[in-house]
Homo-oligomer: A and B are copies of this chain.
């Protein structure tokens, strides 16, 4: 297995318990040394892990990825990245090359500046999970009886969006930014062992069963060719793969 492991943003102890176990048991441990900056040195990491670490610079990762991936089909290899392992294009590249070689990979997430920036007090997003809501009747009667938790599913979200598209079409205010044929990303239980990712068009997603909560639905804007290659890994069917290829050639011709 090829593991991409996030180290978080602070010191050696910001690695997760899961990440640390993998580092200790991997045959080789690399540290990505060019898109991020460590607040602690390689030596401190080596001491904390009790493992030797090989620095992987841009040339190694981009031009000699075979060295990194060598033997990862039989042994475990750990590739450490400051923050969260995803974000830099080159790591998608590494994943795509692993998949080409038939090597399985796993992401061990961690904090990155994208969410840790919330420490200044600005809210990262607004959300509305109905965990402990009272019915209007119970609220009026001042009875502390709560409704069962509710979570929106990807298929519910897709159905609602299709309804909005149809209504706006009727009103003559439709947008081409979101159509029933738009390729979207359905995600469920991100970060968990049974995480599920499906790339399909909005119409297909109206009837998809993504399983237990929590679900996420991403409507991408313009995409980079490498993003399109990554999405192909999760395409629902062949026609979606073709749609992504068409988008990729359109993107390259610009």
Partner-B contacts on A (CB < 8 A): 6, 8-18, 20-21, 33-37, 39, 57-58, 84, 86-89, 92, 95, 107, 109-125, 127, 129, 131-132, 149, 151, 185, 187, 189-193, 195, 197, 199, 213-214, 216, 218, 220, 223-224, 226-227, 229-231, 233-234
Contact = CB atoms under 8 A, between A and B. Distances in A.
A119 B14 contact: no
Contacts of A216: 113, 117
23 contacts: A9-B190, A14-B16, A14-B18, A14-B109, A14-B191, A15-B16, A15-B17, A17-B20, A33-B131, A34-B131, A35-B127, A35-B129, A35-B131, A87-B125, A88-B127, A92-B121, A110-B110, A111-B111, A114-B124, A117-B187, A120-B199, A122-B185, A122-B230
A10 B189 CA distance: 8
B132 A86 contact: no
Contact of A17 (B9, B17, B151): B17
A189 B9 CA distance: 8
A188 to B, nearest CB: 11
Contacts of A114: 114-115, 124-125
A191 B8 contact: yes
A224 B123 contact: yes
B10 A192 contact: yes
A39 B188 CA distance: 12
A21 to B, nearest CB: 7
Nearest to A199: B120
Nearest to A187: B120
Contacts of A88: 127
A109 B107 contact: no
A157 to B, nearest CB: 14
Contacts of A214: 37, 113
A122 B218 contact: yes
Given A9-B109, A111-B191, A122-B223, 7 more contacts: A16-B110, A37-B214, A87-B118, A113-B214, A122-B227, A122-B230, A123-B224
